[in-house]
Structure 1
Amino acid sequence: MKRRDLLKGGLRATTLASAAVIGSTSAGAQDAGQTRISWRMTSSYPRSLDAVYSAGETFIKVLSEITKGRIQIQHLAAGEIVPGLQALDAVQNGTVECCDTAPYYYVGKDPTFAFAAAVPFGLSTRQQNAWFFEGGGLDLLNNELFAKYNVFGLPIGNTTAQMAGWFRKEINTVDDLKGLKMRIGGLAGQVLAKLGVVPQQIAAGDIYPALERGTIDAAEWVGPYDDEKLGFNKVAPYYYYPGWWEGSSAIFLLINKGKWDALSPEDKALMTAAAHQANTVTIAKYDQLNPGAIRRLVAAGVQLKAFPAPVMDACLKAAGEVYAEISAQNPLFKRIHDHMMAYRSEQYLWQQVTEYTYETYMIRARARGG
């Protein structure tokens, strides 16, 4: 299905979704066909991390409502059928029909997967949504990357800008990064390795004991709400920002391509609409939950720290080197990198005119009591 046709169907189905949510009768859902569908979705996340896990839950709920129960998906938490970091494999090989995951978990297969989740010094949440849905980013990912791995992808959420994580010691200079053992995902580990960090890929449930035992010196996960649930403040006192490697971080629904291709056009449109709804709700959920969580963490004694400008500059330089090195060996990575970064530049050209000036003024006004 062409992207334009899919989006038209998605817009139609989004209207149906809104009607279903408020309890109206949706004739469109009845017209979507009589084929009953029963799928399984494996997650990269545990149920205990309810905000990120809820992206998949919202998608499933909305889809069931707008199809009047004709399409049912069973949601399986990380480890219930396969480990969280093997979700893509399970969809590829047909163990399950779909998964909810962060595509940058699979940079070992192809570093290009990072562009579907988050890359160092990449896009903000709004920019990423615009790139996906209007800037051609989602088409690039589906047609040139996901198809090679037998999946079709739809964004179903975003954790928004993330924190830089929890540190057992202060980071005052670039030299303080040398020898630091840090849990960090995606391409950020390769960037920090250039500055002497020893990156570790550790699943969510294993981060706390690793920090507690001193097996690692620092760890990033998501942000205040999720991090508070995992209790990192009990074993690492310094909470750094910004998470320059995740200015936004998309959560994707990856569907086995054979299963997706076999769907009717109407069912593809309904799934797209449910994915859009989940994406919107998940972003709103993080914006709602994080302010209270950061207040509680600071009240409990957490020390918020900003990375010094020289550290940020060194990381930006290292990121450019990593991008150049991968691009020299991976034409698809280079094509999508160049496409995204050009889009980022154009977005900031506009946002610096009004978004940045407005928000900066309002933040300062708040500090003055305005």
Structure 2
Amino acid sequence: MNASSACNTSIATNHADTDNKAALHFPIYLDYSATTPVDPSVAAKMCAYLTEKFGNPASSSHSFGWEARAAVEKARKQVAGLVGAQTAEIVWTSGATESNNLALKGAAHVLRERGRGKHLVTVSTEHKAVLDTMHTLERDGFEVTYLQPGSDGLITTAQFTAALRPDTLLASVMMVNNEIGVIQPIAELGEICAGRGIVFHVDAVQAAGKIPIDLRRLKVDLMSFSAHKVYGPKGIGALFVRHNPDLTLEAQIDGGGHENGMRSGTLATHQIVGMGEAFALAALLQEEESARIRLLHERLWEGLRVLPGVLLNGSAEQRIPNNLNLSFDLVGEVSVAGQLLDIAVSAGSACNSANAAPSYVLSALGRSDALARNAIRISLGRYTTMEEIDYTVATLRQLLQSQPIAA
């Protein structure tokens, strides 16, 4: 058996395991916002580009390189297809963190050099990949306004407009918050930016494959994506860069001028193929999958909302059904997440899970330190079953009914 056959055999076995959805398998995984398993059909496509079709896409003198280049361009088209972009507007990166860095640093420095200003606008509940990048830009002499959301986690168009200045050159607002799942008014904010000539960046990592994105209509200049949130592999992402002669990015990685000079480095063909297949699959399944997950979300929330001390974090209406973020108003140092030994949930975003400080996102919503610390994010996905939801509800009911509720 060659390496490719071995890889495919392993994939077939894994796929058989996921088909048995009626039975419970422990631990139960309800942390899809942190990462998703690679879909077996995606992994199958990737394997061939590890063992057989291993050429360098930059090799232009033989068929191995041509085949790899064709696969890269097919994947670029697949990613563009999910979000309504042109194929040439997709730039490969190592993940959403790099995409955010390239978008914000790359655009801000060029725009400042052109005399467009030095002011940036973002939201205090953005992912650390945006916030830390903004802090770096502040050290480079830029001025940043951090908008504070309401108790529902949302900003308003009036609030956004009031923060803009004559020297505002770029704004960055995430489409779906990674901790609380709320959906910001991206279409309206994009219109405001377009009317003032402000470059608009959107982190769409938690939105892609979950809610419709049409960049033919949205007034968005830059948008970041990640494969491993959409049942693709880790270590690969993309940045949408709208085709506009006035929009130029300063490369953050030099050496070779790959990706039209925006991101140098040998392309990881197998990962790119995986991201393309994952996004293509999301395009086929998104409507059906969203409807199924909405039913799971409703059953989960209906089973928990009646319990004393349970508080929903973020808007109840403007949110994706994949996410349910709850705080527990309990007496004493009781960690709900720490007692769910056979259910994998998150106490915050994955990048902050080792941090003992309360969630900065929940603190921004006005939650006390106690409520921000005693919160869990339950996130549902492609392989979540109704049986897993019912088990989770029963487990949390039993746990909470034995705990004293804060007055």
Q: What TM-score, normalized to structure 1?
A: 0.29
The structure having more radius of gyration, on CA atoms, is 2
* Bigger helix fraction: 1
